[in-house]
Amino acid sequence: MNRLERLFADSRGTGRKALVVYVCAGDPDLAATERLVPQLAEAGADVVELGVPFSDPLADGPTIQAAAQRALQSGTTLSAVLAMVRQLRQGGCSVPLVLFGYMNPIVRMGLAPFVTQAAEAGADGVLVADLPLEESHTLGELAQASGLSLVLLAAPTTPPGRLRAIGQATRGFLYFVSVTGVTGTRAELPADLPAKLREARAASSAPVAVGFGVSTPEQARALAAHADAVVVGSALVEALHRGGRDASEGLSLVRSLAAAVHAAR
């Protein structure tokens, strides 16, 4: 098992829920991201998703779109993100790292070279927002052979049969999208989300993480009772951007989220 799979195996054994946080790699630049990742782990993040910036991030709302543009303007590329992951591992960072991106940069690099370089750099998982189940098999097989987990997504609108297929094919965890629409903070989450999460957990052989729209410790605590992990992205990206190169506001948010999630059972 890689770091990601070990984390969830240990969490399931103890009943402890996990906090997954998303940051856009290269926002404001890769040196800042490299400094930030170990701080996120120290603040309580169990898994860090590293967003690979792309010019057309169709699953993302305005906050992460803007972060991706800032990262691209700073010169961030997929190759540079992989080099940063290697530096993090060489520096002793052990938190599970999942590369969150889109197919276009991966196809440009080549599926096999991407998987090889990601595994050698020290990534644990890959999540591709625009990769449907039907087209995931080649990347999934390459990833599995290299010890990477290809994380798949499901949504509230996913039919039961398809949910079961995704739940059996995903590795590391199943990312369950809490709402229909793009990423972004929301004041309220759907009332039927706990029932949807029960269906997802019943259909999946992997742990289920819920994300999109989760922004407060109260929301995170409530959802952690119905899932194996909670994902927070836009709220953290917003907090980090407000602070510029001072990450204290973002780290304070992570500490509060971690306390809420880890207290849930």
Q: Which amino acid is at 77?
A: T
Q: How far apart are CA 111 and CA 187, in angstroms?
A: 38
What's the CA dihedral at 70, 57, 192, 194 to 10 degrees? -70
DSSP code string of 106-135: HHHH-HHHHHHHHHHHT--EEEETT--GGG
Chain segment 70-105, per-residue pLDDT in tens: 999 999 999 999 999 999 999 999 999 999 999 999
Q: How far apart are CA 36 and CA 25, in angstroms?
A: 10
Residues above pLDDT 70, as percent of the chain? 96
pLDDT at residue 185, as a whole number: 47
DSSP code string of 64-107: HHHHHHHHHHTT--HHHHHHHHHHHHHTT--S-EEEEE-HHHHH
Q: Which residue has better confidence, 178 or 202?
A: 202
Q: Is 89 exposed, middle or buried (0-12, 13-18, 19+ CB in 10 A)?
A: middle
pLDDT at residue 179, as a whole number: 72
Residues above pLDDT 90, as percent of the chain? 88
Mean residue pLDDT of the chain comes to 94
Q: How far apart are CA 39 and CA 16, in angstroms?
A: 21
pLDDT at residue 58, as a whole number: 83
Ordered alpha helix ranges (H), the chain: 3-14, 30-43, 62-73, 78-90, 103-109, 111-121, 137-145, 160-169, 193-203, 217-224, 234-243, 248-263
Name residue, tokens 């989760």: 214
Domains of the chain, start order: 3-263 (3.20.20.70)
Catalytic residues, by residue number, are: 49, 60
Mean pLDDT of 58-75: 92
Q: How far apart are CA 162 and CA 49, in angstroms?
A: 25
pLDDT at residue 184, as a whole number: 43
Q: How far apart are CA 4 and CA 215, in angstroms?
A: 23
DSSP-assigned letter for residue 181: S
pLDDT exceeds cutoff 90 at 149: yes
Here the tokens at position 87 are 């530096």
Report residue 180's pLDDT band, with 50, 70 and 90 as the boundaries: low
Chain segment 100-128, per-residue pLDDT in tens: 999 999 999 999 999 999 999 999 999 99
Q: Which residue has better confidence, 192 or 43?
A: 43
Mean pLDDT of 241-254: 96
Mean pLDDT of 188-197: 84
Here the tokens at position 47 are 């898994």
Report residue 36's pLDDT band, with 50, 70 and 90 as the boundaries: very high
Mean pLDDT of 231-250: 95
pLDDT at residue 265, as a whole number: 81
pLDDT at residue 124, as a whole number: 98
Q: Which residue has better confidence, 184 or 164?
A: 164
Beta carbons of 102 and 130 less than 8 angstroms apart: yes
19-23, 77-81, 182-186, 194-198: range with lowest mean pLDDT: 182-186
182-191, 229-238, 252-261: range with lowest mean pLDDT: 182-191
pLDDT exceeds cutoff 60 at 186: no
